[in-house]
Structure 1
Amino acid sequence: MTAGLITLSAALLCLIDGSDVTQTPLLWVMEGQSATMNCSHTKDHSHDQMYWYRQLPEEGMKQIVFTTAYIDHQYESGFSADKFPATKKDALTGSLTVERLLFNDSGVYFCAVSKHSDTGD
Structure 2
Amino acid sequence: GSEVTQIPTILWKLKDSDAQMNCSHTKGSSYFQMYWYRQLPGEGMKQVVFITPSSQPDYSGEFSKDKYPTVKAVAESGSFTVKKLETGDSGMYFCAVSQHSDTDNKYRCTKTPVFQQDVT
Q: Same fold (TM over 0.5)?
A: yes
Partner residue, 2:2? 19
Give unpaired runs (5+ residues) of structure 2. Answer: 103-120
Q: Distance in 2 between matches of 1:103 and 1:117?
A: 33
Structure 1 residues 84 and 115, CA gap change in structure 2 (3 angstroms): same
* Deviation readout 1:56-98 (Å, 9 max, x if unpaired): 0010000000010011110001000000000000000001000
Question: What residue is the counterpart of 1:95 in the other structure?
Answer: 79
Q: Percent identity?
A: 57
**TM-score where L is the length of structure 2:** 0.81
**Counterpart selection for 2:41 from 43, 53, 57:** 57
Q: 1:28 to 1:117 in 2, by over 3 A?
A: closer
Report the residue type matching 2:59 in the other structure: Y
Find the aligned partners of 2:42 and 2:70 in 1 and give their Cα distance: 25
**SS of the residue 1:28 aligns to:** strand
Aligned residues: 101
Rg bigger for which structure?
1
Query: Over the residues paired in the alignment, what is the CA RMSD in angstroms?
Result: 1.5
Uncovered stretches (5+) of structure 1, i.e. residues with no partner: 1-17
**Following superposition, which runs of at least 4 residues in structure 1 exceed 2 angstroms of deviation?**
none
- In the aligned structure 1, how far is the partner of 2:42 from the partner of 2:101? 33
Distance (whole Å) between structure 1 residues aligned to residue 3 and residue 17 of structure 2: 30
